[in-house]
Structure formats: C-alpha cells, structure tokens
C-alpha cells in the first residue's frame, strides 16, 4: 500500500458553556480536517461558531460530529433510540453545523458520528442506516466518515453515500476491526511516539497490530486524533512529523480520491 497524502482530523469544539475541554487552538495548526460537536454530546452555539471560525482560519475541512443527546455522558453511553429518532437527531445536528459554516462562508466537508452513536452503528444496521440516510438526505454528495469493516460503512455504500475510511493511531484495535472497548487496559494510547509509529504503519502498510493478537488490515483515507485525549496536541505533532518524514503529505481528502 502506497500513499503520498493522508487527511489528519480531530474531534473538536467539545467545550460547553463554562466547561472547557481540549486545546483546539494548539491542535488545529497540525490538522487538515476537524469534526465539530453539534450540541448533543458537547458544544453549544457559541462554541460551534467559534470553532468554525478557528477551523476557517487554519484552512481545515469542516465536518459535523453528531451524537446521541447525552451531555452528562459525553455521548459515550449507548441509548436505545428508535431509527426515526436517530435519523431526526442526526439531520438536526448536521443542519445546525452546516448553518454555522454557511454563515462563515465555508462549506461542510463531511459528517462523522460521535462516540456511542458511532459504536452502535458498527453492528446495528437500523442505526447505521438512519445515520447514512440523514447524511444523504441533507446532501447526497456529502461524505460520511466511517470505520472500515463496519455496518456503518456497509449501509452508507448501500445508500450511495460517499465514505471516508478512518482509523485511529491513538486507540487500540481488535482483530475484527472494532476499536478495543475503553474499559480494556491499553485501549487508549497516550505515548506520542507509539501513536506516531502506528500512524505511519496505518498509512504506508494499511494495517495495525490488534490488541488481541495478529493484525487488522484496512484501507484508510483519514487518521483521527481524539481532541479530549490529554496528550492530543503532542500526539498530533508526533504523528504529523512522522508522516512527513515518511514522505506522506497531510491534506484533506477530496471526493475523487474516495474509494
């Protein structure tokens, strides 16, 4: 597998009111795309507006980051929402972020489900279809960022939604391609050098070691750094530098490049 460029994204805009999370100002210069919280797991109108403005300043591709309505749990608790509720919630959040972006004079580049909403969509077809349908109904050309080898990828492709295949250099994987549960020891990687090593392997070899043995192999269009990781800026810096040394340019994806 040979790639000369890769998108580097992060989840951001995850502050809320007087509560601050993440270092978006330190992180954004190292990225090419950003996924902005839409108020359901984090973020609020003022935070969304400011995050869009900061992303525009740094020339980043802007994505909507919808989630379950779960501010107390940061969107990381699975909710038994009916598919029509997931559809409406997702469409609402995409529309809100797209409105902020339009007012700032920048386009919406993609959609990426957050936390437990994404996790549920890996293995639950009705949830995956609801997310993909909401994205398609908002804009049939709008890409959906997904983990490879999940039902969310399957349902997006079935509905004709363009997909951006994403992997995480600072999260551990299982052999079947799922992210290791956060309750599992070693599921999150805080060492910037190790995250950078994994990022280079992901991009240049299309695989990564699995925490339960062997390797998970995949195609990839984008790497993600979690903005709420305490070492997010240091990890992004190490990943950025390691990819550059490997001859890989950091730049946002474009539609013709997507598989």
pLDDT by residue (tens digit) across 9-18?
999 999 998 8
The two tokens of residue 22 are 């993440």
Residue 173: φ, ψ to 5°: -115, 155
Q: Give the SS3 label for residue 61.
A: strand
**Is pLDDT above 80 for 254?**
no
- pTM for this structure? 0.93
What DSSP designation does 28 have?
G
Q: Rounded mean pLDDT of the chain?
A: 93
| Mean pLDDT value of segment 28-45 | 97
**Is pLDDT above 70 for 2?**
no
pLDDT by residue (tens digit) across 141-187?
999 999 999 999 999 999 999 999 999 999 999 888 888 888 888 88
| Mean pLDDT value of segment 224-251 | 92
104 within 8 A of 111, measured Cβ to Cβ: no
**Is pLDDT above 90 for 227?**
no
What DSSP designation does 180 have?
P
- Characterize the bridge pairing of strands 222-225 and 163-167: parallel
Q: Give the SS3 label for residue 41.
A: coil
Percent of the chain with pLDDT over 90: 80
Tell me whether residue 201 is exposed, middle or buried, using C-beta atoms within 10 angstroms of its C-beta: 0 to 12, 13 to 18, 19 or more.
middle
Q: How many CB atoms lie within 10 A of CB 247?
A: 11
Task: Give which of 158, 176, 165, 173 is closest to 222, Cα–Cα.
Answer: 165
pLDDT for residue 239: 97
CATH number for 5-257 (one of 3.30.470.20, 3.20.10.10, 3.40.50.620, 3.20.20.370): it is 3.20.20.370
Measured CA to CA in angstroms, residue 187 lies from 65, 181, 256 at distances of: 22, 6, 33
pLDDT for residue 130: 98
Q: Alpha helices, DSSP H only, in the chain?
A: 24-27, 45-57, 83-104, 115-123, 125-138, 151-158, 192-205, 232-245
**Is pLDDT above 60 for 255?**
no
Looking at per-residue pLDDT, the higher value among 48 and 74 belongs to: 48
Measured CA to CA in angstroms, residue 248 lies from 6, 11, 34, 137, 240 at distances of: 7, 22, 19, 34, 9
What DSSP designation does 60 have?
-
pLDDT for residue 4: 87
pLDDT for residue 178: 82
Residue 191: φ, ψ to 5°: -85, 115
pLDDT by residue (tens digit) across 80-134?
999 999 999 999 999 999 999 999 999 999 999 999 999 999 999 999 999 999 9
Task: Give which of 15, 77, 78 is closest to 50, Cα–Cα.
Answer: 15
Domain regions of the chain by residue span: 5-257
pLDDT for residue 177: 82
pLDDT for residue 259: 57
pLDDT for residue 138: 98
pLDDT grade for 47, boundaries at 50, 70 and 90: very high
Tell me whether residue 29 is exposed, middle or buried, using C-beta atoms within 10 angstroms of its C-beta: 0 to 12, 13 to 18, 19 or more.
middle
User: How far, in Å, CA of 96 to CA of 66, rounded?
Assistant: 10
pLDDT for residue 253: 83
The two tokens of residue 1 are 């597998």
């Amino acid at each position: 597998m040979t790639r000369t460029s890769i998108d580097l994204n992060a989840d951001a805009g995850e502050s809320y009111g007087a509560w601050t999370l993440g270092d978006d100002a330190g992180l954004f210069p190292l990225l090419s795309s950003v996924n902005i919280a839409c108020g359901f797991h984090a973020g609020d109108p003022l935070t969304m507006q400011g995050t869009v403005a900061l992303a525009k300043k740094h020339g980043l591709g802007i994505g909507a980051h919808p989630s379950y309505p779960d501010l107390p749990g940061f969107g990381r608790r699975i909710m038994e929402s009916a598919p029509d509720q997931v559809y409406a919630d997702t469409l609402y959040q995409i529309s809100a972020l797209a409105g902020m972006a339009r007012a700032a004079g920048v386009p919406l580049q993609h959609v990426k489900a957050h936390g437990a909403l994404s996790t549920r969509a890996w293995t639950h077809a009705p949830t995956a279809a609801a997310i993909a349908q909401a994205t398609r109904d908002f804009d049939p050309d709008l890409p959906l960022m997904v983990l490879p080898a999940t039902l969310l990828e399957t349902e997006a492709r079935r509905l004709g939604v363009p997909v951006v295949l994403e992997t995480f250099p600072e999260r551990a994987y299982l052999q079947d391609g799922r992210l290791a549960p956060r309750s599992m020891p070693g599921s999150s990687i805080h060492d910037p050098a190790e995250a950078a090593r994994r990022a280079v392997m992901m991009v240049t070899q299309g695989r990564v070691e699995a925490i339960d043995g062997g390797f998970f192999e995949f195609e990839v269009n984008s790497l993600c750094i979690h903005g709420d990781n305490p070492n997010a800026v240091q990890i992004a810096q190490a990943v950025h530098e390691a990819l550059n040394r490997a001859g890989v340019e950091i730049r946002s994806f474009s539609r013709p490049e997507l598989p």
